[in-house]
Amino acid sequence: VVLNSFNLKNKVAVITGGAGLLGRKHAEAILEANGRVALIDVNETRLNEVANELESKHGKNMVATFKVDITQKEAVQSSLEQIKKIFGNAPQILINNAAIDPKFDKSKTDKPGSRLENFSVDQWNMEISVGLTGSLICAQVFGHEMAKAGSGVILNVASDLGVVAPDQRIYRQEGLAEDMQNVKPVTYSVIKHGLIGLTKYIATYWAKQGVRCNAFAPGGVFNDHPDAFVQKLTNLIPLGRMAHKDEYKGAILFLVSDASSYMNGATLNMDGGRSVW
Ligand SMILES: NC(=O)c1ccc[n+]([C@@H]2O[C@H](COP(=O)([O-])OP(=O)(O)OC[C@H]3O[C@@H](n4cnc5c(N)ncnc54)[C@H](O)[C@@H]3O)[C@@H](O)[C@H]2O)c1
C-alpha cells in the first residue's frame, strides 16, 4: 500500500531551525506520520513554546529540543550523543532548515547595507556560517552516522531563490533614489544555490552507503506581509498567491520518507510556478 511508504514509525528526524515558522511545520509533518523529532535551534524561548505545543498533541516522548548553534561542531556532535540517549538510536533523517532571516535596515540616512556594493564582509560571513557551514556541519555529524548505519535521508531547505535570482523590483520603495533602495541580500542567493550544490555532492558521496540527499525549493510563505509587497510578489507567481504555512508539509513528508526512495540529488521546486515564468 503506497501510504505505508510515508510512515515514519521508529524514525527520528533532526530539524535545524526547528523553532522557526517552517521548522515547526516540518515537525508536525513528521509527528503526524508517527516519527519523532529532535528540534535544534538557538532560540530557547521559541524552542520551548514549539515543543510544548507539539508535545501536547503528540506526546512527551516524541519531541526533544536542543539549544545548539549549528555553526559549532562540538555542540552539534554532543546533540547527537544526547539524541541517541533520549531516543535509543541515531537520527535517520536530517532537515537542514536553519537560516538567518535578513532584516532590512530601516535607517533613511545611511546607504542600505543590503546593497551589493555596501554589503559587509562580517554580515556575509555570519549568514554563510549558518546557512552553508551549519548545514555542512550537521551533514558531517548526522550524515556520517547514517552512512555508518547504512541508511538515512538528508533534506536541505533551499528556496525558489536557490533556483532563480531575486527580482529586486518587488522590494523597491517609491520615491527613493536607486542607491537608497533595499535589496534581497546577495547571501540569500549564494546560500540557497550553495545548498543545491551541497545536495548534489552529498547525494553522490554517500549513495553507496544508503544515504539519500535532496533539496527543497519552496516559494514565499504568507506571514502578514504588507499588501503592496504581496501584490508585487504574487504578480511573479503563476498561481497568483503566496504559500500557506501548512502547504509544504506533504512535500516534506514525501522527501524524508520511503515514498521518495528513488529520489536522490534532486531539487523539488514548490513555488506556485514562480521559477518557470
Ligand atoms: N518562510 C518563507 O517564506 C521561506 C521561503 C523559502 C525558503 N525558506 C527557507 O525555509 C527555512 C525556514 O524558514 P522560516 O521562515 O521558518 O525561518 P525562521 O527565521 O522562522 O526560522 C529559522 C530558524 O533558524 C534558527 N537559527 C538561526 N541561526 C541558527 C543557528 N546558528 N543554529 C541553530 N538555529 C539557528 C532561528 O532561531 C529560527 O528559529 C529557511 O532556510 C528559509 O530560508 C523560507
Residue-wise pLDDT tens digits, 126-176 = 999 999 999 999 999 999 999 999 999 999 999 999 999 999 999 999 999
Output the residue whose Cα is nearest ligand 1's atom 1.
Answer: 221
**pLDDT bucket at 107, cuts 50 / 70 / 90:** low
| Ligand 1 atom nearest to 22, measured from its CA | 16
Nearest CA to ligand 1 atom 4: 220
172 contacts 188 by C-beta, under 8 angstroms: no
Residue nearest to atom 8 of ligand 1 (CA): 159
What is the residue with the minimal CA distance to atom 7 of ligand 1? 159
Whole-number pLDDT of residue 21 = 98
Cα gap 177→115, rounded to integer Å:
13
Which of 106, 80, 86 minimizes the C-alpha distance to 182?
106
Pocket of ligand 1 (CB under 6 A): 16-17, 19-23, 40-43, 46, 69-71, 97-101, 130, 134, 157, 159, 218, 220-221
Q: Say yes or no to pLDDT of 102 above 80.
A: no
Alpha-carbon torsion (157, 129, 83, 52), positive or negative: negative
Mutate to test the pocket of ligand 1, among 24, 101, 229 (most ligand atoms within 8 A of CB): 101
The pLDDT assigned to 84 comes to 98
For 193-207, write each residue's pLDDT tens digit: 999 999 999 999 999
3-state DSSP of 181-199 = CCCCCHHHHHHHHHHHHHH
pLDDT for 104 equals: 64
Identify how many contiguous H helices and E strands the chain contains and give both numbers. Answer: 9, 7
Minimum CA distance residue for ligand 1 atom 23: 17
Given pLDDT bands bounded at 50, 70 and 90, which one contains residue 105? low
What residue has cell string 552516522?
Answer: 145
The three cell numbers locating residue 66: 536542543
What separation in Å is there between the alpha carbon of 49 and the centre of ligand 1?
A: 16
E strand or H helix that includes residue 267? strand 267-270
Q: Whose CA is nearest to atom 39 of ligand 1?
A: 20
Give the mutation target among 72, 159, 248 for probing the ligand 1 site: most ligand atoms within 8 A of CB. Answer: 159
What the block records as the C-alpha cell of 98 is 536553519
- Ligand 1: atom nearest CA of 19 is 39
Please give the order of strands across the beta sheet that includes 152-157.
63-67, 36-41, 12-16, 93-96, 152-157, 211-218, 267-270
Per-residue pLDDT at 101:
82
pLDDT value at 218 more than 70: yes
DSSP string, 226-254: -HHHHHHHHTT-TT-SPBPTTTTHHHHHH
Kindly give the interhelix angle for 121-128 and 186-205, rounded to the nearest 10 degrees: 30
